[in-house]
Structure 1
């Protein structure tokens, strides 16, 4: 049988039998590999807790003898829906390690696992109380007026709000795969969220279960994320390290906290449905977020093949902030590749470090 390109495909019984035997051999060896595996660990870098407010904590990454050449601390704010160790997944896939090796003093905020007692936590709690409390702790402990802030995905949206409301406390702002315009035509997730009856959902469920959110993300690319990757697992079963890498990523994907109901309601309504960052209508407590108040240097990093935060959703930030010092970095990869690909390990920490270093002596 020929393909449309003229190349023959051998689908005879002999070919099918050979393929079946190969799969059987891989599965048999794979069982040996799996039985020899230890539990996979996540989070490559040593860290210590330096601040806590309830379930929310800030950790400082230890330097292993590497001197911090940058005196202004860098605080990373990740999204609520997944665990922040994606930026430090394993020793050879760690944005954090790359930043540490280049002299940055790196901290990360861990939002914890909300339970029913957190049902009525609001965006003001997350942005002003928790993120603001973390910033104030670092300002005091380092004796500085302002810190460097790296906001990632939803954490980037939070960081934009915080910087707009507290511009004197942020020296430099880095946003990474951060949604800004939630009404672009190529954003499937945003389209779903705009049609969501979020009041009914939160009033019925209280906190939003992690499994609901995971199912939404997986069904954005159902074949790739629910079928293809598990079929592909057969091809790597004989490689212990590759299997460990696979399981480490699976651990992160399904290690998702529930989401505090009120904060979820506010975020969906104000950001996804009202496109509040573009329209200037986001309110945090009794204050309105005006991105023009962001007058510190801004570095916006987006991924060219990002299906969760398409470039068109991130790039409008340029015209919305008030800063005269705005830069962009376009990364050739997707929403996950920007953390774990080999190119990411080389380009992302170096890009952030170079940009921050150029501004480390700039007075505001």
Structure 2
């Protein structure tokens, strides 16, 4: 008898032999691979303010939509997650359906950006991109697609300038930062943010990455690398794996003052949900001022932005045209899974088309 797992010497020997074959195949696979790349869709720079650049994506055919879509991503990672590879691209899916798609690239903040504030990011950068598109496309208002923290930024901008946003789409966007299952917020509330920023200036990317990985340490530190052994002999799967790893660890530092303001007003004080409203510069943000149509897309298995955090948007806004889409997946799967490629671009396109 060998116990309930029925592990025999022959089984162990076979497993060791299988692993050896995988490792040898992995050496050949990695030797034959080129450096993985990302951002498959051609794009052109159309506007710039400092390190922040506005890009227009160029599809195989000219867009048919008259109103452009501006994507506002989070600060903590690079925005090419929305255009990661040929078969995993929200951007490509939208372009194929005739949309005119743009993205804000925040760049890599350095010490000269230490004192950038939320007002800079929302009024100066998002506002500058919006005004450029309104003028370049000869439209009074544009469609704004905000993702994660970029969605919170988009809510603030839409509340402050409702006349400039025709339709608002939020994806995996936190609204209620104090839901019981929001581990990231619970951790943040225990941090002396003033001491952190005053000591470090900009918040290092490695520190931010370590924090996010520690939310699921077994899954993100050990399990995925153990599982990598199973795909070492599959070049396509290894390319996908390494491309995702490259994105995860290609993180910018966080501009100190903007980090301080966002952490205190949203993670710690939860200002969207009550009490003093968020302040962007000298302006107060009231979500009730958002009167345009809203499509709110959230992920049902999201460990970073729990569904209840996103669903809290209902009832806080001034618009009667509010739609929710519950996506069966996680925070990253909503961009890159095969289900996402089928569902998300089509949903956004159909929703926009019904609104002219």
Instruction: Please classify the TM superposition score into its range, dividing by the shorter chain length.
Output: over 0.9
Whether 1:298 aligns to 2:290 is no
Distance 2:62 2:43 in 1: 16
Whether 1:67 aligns to 2:67 is no
Q: How does 1:33-112 map to 2 (within 5 A)?
A: 33-64=29-60, 66-112=61-107
Cα pair 2:46 2:55 within 8 Å, conserved: yes
Q: How does 1:109-258 map to 2 (within 5 A)?
A: 109-258=104-253
Q: How does 1:18-37 map to 2 (within 5 A)?
A: 18-37=14-33
Question: Structure 1 residue 67: deviation in Å?
Answer: 3.0
User: Hey, which bits of structure 1, 4+ residues long, moved more than 6 A?
Assistant: none
* Alignment counterpart, residue 279 of structure 2, candidates 276, 283, 293: 283
| Cα RMSD after superposing both structures | 1.0
The SS at the match of 2:55 is: strand
1:14 counterpart residue number: 10
* TM-score normalised per structure 1: 0.96
The SS at the match of 2:178 is: coil
Cα pair 2:141 2:166 within 8 Å, conserved: yes
Unpaired runs of 5+ residues, structure 1, are none
Distance 1:268 1:333 in 2: 26
* Alignment counterpart, residue 350 of structure 2, candidates 345, 354, 359: 354
Paired positions, count: 355
Unpaired runs of 5+ residues, structure 2, are none
Question: Structure 1 residue 2: deviation in Å?
Answer: 8.3
1:257-312, Cα deviation, whole Å (9 max, x unpaired): 00000000000000011101111520000000000000000100000000000001
The SS at the match of 1:52 is: strand
1:261 counterpart residue number: 256
Cα pair 2:2 2:8 within 8 Å, conserved: no
Whether 1:342 aligns to 2:338 is yes
Distance 2:202 2:74 in 1: 16
Distance 1:142 1:163 in 2: 19
* TM-score normalised per structure 2: 0.98
The SS at the match of 1:307 is: coil
The SS at the match of 2:228 is: helix
Whether 1:317 aligns to 2:317 is no
Distance 1:51 1:67 in 2: 20
